[in-house]
Chain A
Amino acid sequence: MLTHEQAAKAFPDEVVTKAVTRLVRVAGLAKPVALITIDNGHDHTRPSTFGPQSLVSLNAAFDAAVAAQPSAIAVTGKPFIFAVGADLSGVEQVADRSSAVDIAQTGHDVFRRFTESPVPTFAFVNGAVLGGGLELALSCHYRTLSDNTAAIALPEVFLGLFPGWGGTQLLPNLIGPDAAVTVIFENALSQNRMLKPAQAAELGITDVLLGSADFIERSLAWASDVVNGVVSVPRKEIDRGAGWNTAVERAKGIVHGRTKGASPGALKALELLELARANDLDAGYAAETEALADVLMTDPLRAGLYSFTLVQKRAKRPAGAPDKSLARPVTKVGVVGAGLMASQMALLFVRQLKVPVVLTDIDQARVDKGVAYVHDEIDKLGARGRLSPDGVNRLTALVSGSLDKAAFADADFVIEAVFEELGVKQKVFAEVEAHVSAECVLATNTSSLSITEMAAGLAHPERVVGFHFFNPVAVMPLLEVVRAERTDDATLATAFAVGKALRKSSVLVKDAPAFVVNRLLTRFMGEVVRAIDEGTPFEVADRATEPLGLPMSPLVLLQLVGAPVALHVAETMHRAYPDRFGVSENMRRFVAAGKNAVWTWDSAGNQSVDPEVAALWQFGPNPLTAQEVLDRVLDAMAEEIRIMLDEGVVAEAQDIDLCLLLGAGWPFWLGGVTPYLDRAGVSERVHGKPFLAPGVASVPA
């Protein structure tokens, strides 16, 4: 065990979770229960975490509990929080492998005392329980769970780690390998999905679900019944043969499907799941400690933590956003255009802002169709129980359509989503300006046109702002908020405030062609298509980027975006930067032929090139290897990002990474992309220097 001094030295800034032991008399028990409370001294908005000093404190509390010779030892948390795991900011400071081993080992040493105690141990899980918090609970002999617990999960694999304080060994041996795979792999890799209390109880993670109103009292009473044998707690038979094999195979499928094998933490978790089959804690914990130290000292893990911090912190305080007190209230929204994108935006606005939303379009049929779409979606939310009948009535009444833009007269925020052509958009804004107040924000969802030019002819160009959503609007968390040349601070602040109210993560972007995500994806895709044009087979080019572990291959992404849209953006970018952005003649033919997908799939899911596409595509004589394609793509990304930073498109490389994480779904272990470009040596090759200082998203030198 670490001494208190060693622990303090290892992580001096730790917000220490103190553990205190109190002896309580419980009906039915001759000897008291030693009740350990873990509490970091803050309210529930700063949940309790474990760093080295916290573990030393818990160890001391356990000593005190044992010394009292109690009838049982129980551990619980401060109100609404049990514990949410390791303190990640402490992990970021780990600079050498022996410190990493210390962290892993200390957690095991302390938690295992609860497992090996001759006195029965209980976790009274009174609130949020994540990661190491859940591992502490699993280390106890029995668990009660409060029915108002807001978050239950092992999110480690999501972060690029694995549950390394006993989780990989204890959970499958408690609830069975298949359920453990759901928790450790499937949920973690599904955008960090949380369990509901009833699900956790159903899976057998906890033994009894108790009401929050008198949770501690009932937990103590239940513990008394367990100690006295009044209640017996059945444990599952664990299938260590075929069932275990099946579960491991399922986990492998999930890891391969979601990470393409690019996350070291997920791969270690697979090995540890296999090892857990023997249910040998000595071997299992030793392996966890070694593996944790290994993974902690990898750059992909550090990039994962960097990504997590960007998403948790930077996304909530956008760099360069003006003072939020400048924002004007938005009490009514206009949407120009009633097509699918516009209707999806209208739905989002009405759901989140709960203010009147008016759609307009060029004819009544389109308006009616747009309004009907939104009303329909609201009804579906009602049918799924996501909205109450009153909520359905409220939102339905707020959405209306009008042919006449005079309906926007009292709107504070009008957004257009009409055809992607500058002249059309300029005309729309001029028409809207004739009806609205001088302060009404005019927002555009353009993906590539110049917002400065769009605003040029207006009486009040300072109220025009870019408001670029990603498809599907309801799901993708990113919003690129674009400041045009004359956009004023009040307009920008209002745009950020609306973005926040829509529960999107906003990034401030300069008015530059295609902003961030589309510019980089177009450059990325452009290099892949160029390689194919030069003669690289579709199979080779499309698989070249597999080592990155992206959510989908480039050609599948092309299909999702829509080939005509991609071509349109490519042409725009070509006009802006002809040296770097080409337009493929093959792509033009492909789109002209009405094609959208390169691949077809048979009923068994086997992928092959659409023969019509193969027929129309004209290959050059210079095929590249997969590695050559990948190098080209990465070099192009590094080049483009450096140019964007030089142009001041965003404040810092961190904003580029945030955009790729949230707008393109690029994985945590790449850190968006610049940490990967740095660690893969691409930045050095292209620019002679990295994007980020060592230690920011990598193991400190």
Chain B
Amino acid sequence: MAAPAAPAAARAAREVVFVDGVRTPFGKAGPKGVYAETRADDLIVKVIRELLRRHPELPPERVDEVAVAATTQIGDQGLTIGRTAALLAGLPKSVPGFAVDRMCAGAMTAVTTTASGIAFGAYDVVIAGGVEHMGRHPMGEGVDPNPRIIADKLVDPTALVMGQTAENVHDRFPALTKQRCDAYAARSQEKFADAVKAGKIGPELVPVATRSAELGWGLATEDEPPRPGTTVEALAGLKTPFRPHGRVTAGNAAGLNDGATGCVLAAEETARELGLPIGMRLVGYAFVGVEPEVMGIGPVPATEKALARFGLSISDIGLFELNEAFAVQVLAFLDHFGLADDDPRVNVWGGAIACGHPLASSGVRLMTQLSRQFAERPDVRYGITAMCVGIGMGGTVIWENPNWDGGK
């Protein structure tokens, strides 16, 4: 046996950068959705291939890990999807891969986990992303909750139904009215439609050939869920499926969606060696658990923890990309930090209420959009991506803009 290594001196962590991110257009889940007859693994495969195609300067064999998240790891989302997706995408067999699950924050966790590996020195370049085909794999497919969860009153039964947790957030914060939520939702649709029109949303999309036995092959080139022109009035009339006379509707929440996202992360020194672009620099991240019955408040303590850990305050943050699982949980966040419902720093190009939220894939959508906003905003130094997570969690990642002009 070799002699034990000398006691480790403090290691220098390496800077981690977000190189680039892409995603498939998001579809509506269900038999009429664009991806009804398209496999989930094929969606993530197209994303990985697009990343490699956009970055010929990245030799495929330099990819040290492929981490792919999915919430329901069954069938075409099972079989260690990070590894099988890497093989199907044509990466060399020497490139390993694994599967990640932290429900809605799957892709976010794929990023933070592999980024930590880069900082530690275990990887130089990784691909991280997520996929969720909620049409083929509805939330809760095949779950078998331990009966003790109910028997021991670990959580309220409403904690496992996301819409009911959103109603619970309304209960906790009576100031968050349905009207504010509907107004927020209509604005999200409007901002998203404007961003599409302005060409802000689109360049990051990978066209996907869609199979339909009846209609033949098609090509998905834009998101299917958005409803541009949505008005507060129209939203007011929608049903509240989670409670009679409740507040949460299909209009002020993200839908059930299909889609995949992916990004390339690298050690900053490796990015410079290979000539990879630097879209964002990772500052830090935090995940926090909250009561599962009000999982929507998760981003609040997660953000506080991340800011505190890395010595920043909310006023340092110039751009926010918040996942809009429900309007009410975004508003809870904004109220907590004293931000206006229509704060211009928040979800500049709209959010998941418009474009959709294919669970485990959404984290990297937030990051991709933030990185594209950074490129346009040298006046901004820091931004965050944050999301609430089923079963009571929140996740926040803080990023630094490499294009920051130093506050001129």
- Asked whether, in the complex, the Cβ of A37 is within 8 Å of the Cβ of B221, the reply is no
Within the complex, the shortest CB–CB distance from A681 to chain B, in Å, comes to: 51
Q: Mark A16-58, 1 if CB is under 8 A from B, else 0.
A: 0000111011110000000111010100000000000000000
Least distance between A453 CB and chain B CB atoms (Å): 57
Interface flag for A237 (CB, 8 Å): no
Q: Name the distance in Å between B219's Cβ and chain A's nearest Cβ.
A: 4
Among B214, B219, B221, which residue has its beta carbon within 8 angstroms of that of A216? B219
Chain A contact residues (Cβ within 8 angstroms of B): what range? 20 to 34
Per-residue CB contact flags for chain B residues 72-111 toward chain A (1 = under 8 Å, else 0) read 0000000000000000111000000000000000000000
Bound-complex Cα distance A584 to B214 (A): 69
Is B170's CB within 8 Å of the partner chain A? no
Selected contact of A20 from candidates B45, B89, B208, B216, CB within 8 Å: B216
B46 located at the interface, meaning its Cβ lies under 8 Å from any Cβ of chain A in the complex: yes
Chain A residue with Cβ nearest B216: A37
Contact with A along B211-241 (1 / 0, CB 8 A): 1011111110110000000000000000000
Please state if A24 and B90 are interface contacts (CB–CB under 8 Å): no
A556 to B217 Cα, complex, angstroms: 55
Given A27-B207, A79-B211, A211-B90, CB of A217 within 8 Å of CB of B46: yes
CB distance from B162 to the nearest CB of A (A): 33
CB of B209 within 8 Å of the partner chain: yes
Closest B residue to A76 by beta carbon equals B217
| In contact, A39 and B88 (Cβ under 8 angstroms) | no
Give CA–CA (A699, B222) in the complex, Å. Answer: 56
Report which of B49, B207, B221 forms a contact with A213, defined as CB distance below 8 A. B49
Instruction: Kindly state the separation between the CA atoms of A22 and B218 in the bound complex, as whole angstroms.
Output: 7
Q: Interface residues of A: mostly helix, strand, loop or mixed?
A: mixed
A220 and B217 alpha carbons, distance in the complex (Å) = 11
A282 at the interface (CB under 8 A from B): no
B260 CB → nearest A CB, Å: 13
Asked whether B49 lies within 8 Å of A24 as measured between CB atoms, the reply is no
- Tell me if A220 and B207 are in contact (CB < 8 A): yes
A217 and B219 within 8 A (CB):
yes
The verdict on A35 contacting B218 (CB below 8 Å), with A79-B211, A213-B45 known, is yes
- A21, A25, A36, A39: which contacts B213 (Cβ < 8 A)? A39
Report the bound CA distance from A220 to B209 in whole Å: 9
In whole angstroms, how far apart are the Cα atoms of A211 and B208 in the complex?
A: 14
Provide the bound-state CA to CA distance between A240 and B138, in Å.
63
Asked if A35 and B216 make an inter-chain contact with CB atoms under 8 angstroms apart, the answer reads yes
CB of A214 closer than 8 Å to a CB of B? yes
Residues from chain A with Cβ under 8 Å of B42 in the complex = 213
Give A25 to B202 CA distance when docked, in angstroms.
Answer: 13
Q: Is the CB of B208 within 8 A of A213?
A: no
Q: In whole Å, how far is A432's beta carbon from the nearest beta carbon of chain B?
A: 46
Distance, CA A26 to CA B107, complexed state (A): 28
Q: State whether A214 touches B216 (Cβ < 8 A).
A: no
Q: Are A27 and B209 in contact (CB under 8 A)?
A: no
Known: A213-B46, A217-B207. A35 touches B217 (CB 8 A): yes
Instruction: Identify which of residues 190-237 in chain A touch chain B, using a CB-to-CB cut-off of 8 Å.
Output: 211, 213-217, 220-221
With beta carbons under 8 angstroms apart, the residue of B45, B206, B209, B219 that contacts A25 is: B219
Chain B's interface: helix, strand, loop or mixed, by majority? loop
Q: Which residue of A lies closest to B202 (CB)?
A: A27
Flag if B49 contacts A216 (CB, 8 Å). Answer: no
The residues of B that contact A215 with a CB separation of less than 8 Å are 209
* Cβ-defined contact, B207 with A20, below 8 A: no
- Complex Cα spacing A221 to B46, Å: 14
Complex contacts, B207 vs chain A, CB 8 Å: 26-27, 217, 220-221
Q: Enumerate chain B residues within 8 angstroms of A214, measured Cβ to Cβ.
A: 45-46, 49, 209
Name the B residues within 8 Å of A216 (CB-CB).
209, 217, 219
Q: How large, as a class, is the contact surface on chain B?
A: 20 to 34
Are B216's CB and A213's CB within 8 A? no
By the criterion CB–CB under 8 Å, are B221 and A39 in contact? no
Q: How many A-B residue pairs have CB under 8 A?
A: 61
Contacts of A25 in B (CB 8 A): 219, 221-222
Chain B residues, Cβ within 8 Å of A20: 214-216
- Residue pair A36, B219 in contact (C-beta under 8 Å): no
**Known contacts A213-B46, A216-B209; A27/B221 CB under 8 A:** yes
Residues of B within 8 A of A22 (CB): 215-218
- Cα-based distance from A211 to B53 in the complex (angstroms): 12
A24–B218 touching, CB < 8 Å: yes
Looking at the assembled complex, report how far the CB atom of B317 sits from the nearest CB atom of chain A, in whole angstroms.
34
Distance of A21 Cα from B214 Cα, bound (Å): 10
Residue of A nearest to B217 (CB): A37
Cα A37 to Cα B45 with chains together (Å) = 23
Q: Kindly list chain A residues whose C-beta atoms are within 8 Å of the C-beta of B209.
A: 214-217, 220
CB pair A213–B219 under 8 Å, yes or no, is no
Docked-complex contact B216 and A26, CB < 8 angstroms: no
A287 to B405, CA, bound (A): 74
| Contact status A26-B46, CB under 8 Å | no
Contact A36 B216 (CB under 8 A): yes
- Determine the residue in chain B with the shortest Cβ distance to A37: B216
**Cβ of A147 to closest chain B Cβ, rounded Å:** 10
Closest CB-CB distance, B265 to chain A, in whole Å? Answer: 22
Do A213 and B88 have beta carbons less than 8 Å apart? yes
Taking the closest CB of chain B, its distance from the CB of A339, in whole angstroms, is: 43
**A213 contacts B217, CB within 8 Å?**
no
Q: In the assembled complex, which residues on chain A have CB atoms less than 8 Å from the CB atom of B217?
A: 22, 24, 35, 37, 76, 216
Q: Give the docked Cα–Cα distance between A370 and B137 (Å).
A: 57
User: What is the distance, in angstroms, from A491's C-beta to the closest C-beta of chain B?
Assistant: 42
- The listed residue with most A CB atoms (<10 A of its CB), out of B42, B88, B89, B213, is B213
Closest to A26 in B: B219
Q: How far is the CB of B218 from chain A (nearest CB, A)?
A: 5
Q: Chain B contacts of A76 at CB under 8 A?
A: 217
Q: Which residues of A contact B222 (CB under 8 A)?
A: 25
Cα distance A24–B222 when bound, in Å?
Answer: 11
Rounded to whole Å, the gap between the CB of B71 and the closest CB of chain A is 24
- Scan B272-315; emit 1 where CB is below 8 A from any A CB, else 0: 00000000000000000000000000000000000000000000
CA A428 to CA B131, docked complex, whole Å? 65
Q: Report B372 CB to chain A, min CB distance, Å.
A: 18
In the assembled complex, the Cα of A214 lies from the Cα of B48 at a distance in Å of 11
Please name all residues of chain A whose beta carbon is closer than 8 Å to the beta carbon of B90 when the two chains form the complex.
211, 213
A residues within 8 A CB of B211?
79
Contacting residues, chain B, for A221 (C-beta < 8 A): 207
Give 1 or 0 for each of B179-219: 1 = CB within 8 Å of chain A CB: 00000000000000000000000000011110101111111
What is the distance, in angstroms, from B408's C-beta to the closest C-beta of chain A? 36
Q: Are the CB atoms of A41 and B213 closer together than 8 Å? A: yes
Tell me the complex Cα distance, A35–B220, Å: 13
Within 8 A of A (CB), among B30-88: 42, 45-46, 49, 88
Q: For residues 57 through 90 of chain A, which have their beta carbon under 8 Å from a beta carbon of chain B?
A: 76, 78-79
CA distance A41 to B212 in the complex (A): 11
Q: Considering the chains assembled together, what is the distance between the CA atoms of A26 and B221 in angstroms? A: 8
Report how far A35 CA is from B90 CA in the complex, Å: 26
The minimal Cβ–Cβ distance linking B138 to chain A, given in whole angstroms, is: 24
State the Cβ distance, B72 to closest chain A Cβ, in Å: 23
Distance A211 CA – B218 CA, assembled complex (angstroms): 18
Contact B213 A220 (CB under 8 A): no
Minimum CB–CB distance for B36 against chain A, Å: 14
A220 cross-chain contacts in B, Cβ below 8 A: 207, 209, 219
Q: Shortest CB–CB separation between residue B86 and chain A, in angstroms?
A: 11
Q: Which 10 A-B pairs have the closest CB atoms?
A: A37-B216, A216-B209, A24-B219, A20-B216, A22-B216, A37-B217, A217-B209, A217-B207, A22-B218, A214-B46
Q: Would you list 14 pairs from A and B whose C-beta atoms are within 8 A, ordered by A residue?
A: A20-B215, A22-B216, A35-B217, A35-B219, A37-B215, A76-B217, A211-B49, A211-B90, A213-B45, A213-B46, A213-B89, A216-B219, A217-B46, A221-B207
Other than A22-B218, A26-B219, give 20 A-B pairs with Cβ distance below 8 A.
Answer: A22-B215, A22-B216, A22-B217, A25-B219, A26-B221, A27-B207, A27-B221, A35-B219, A37-B215, A213-B45, A213-B89, A214-B45, A214-B49, A214-B209, A217-B46, A217-B207, A217-B208, A217-B209, A217-B219, A220-B207
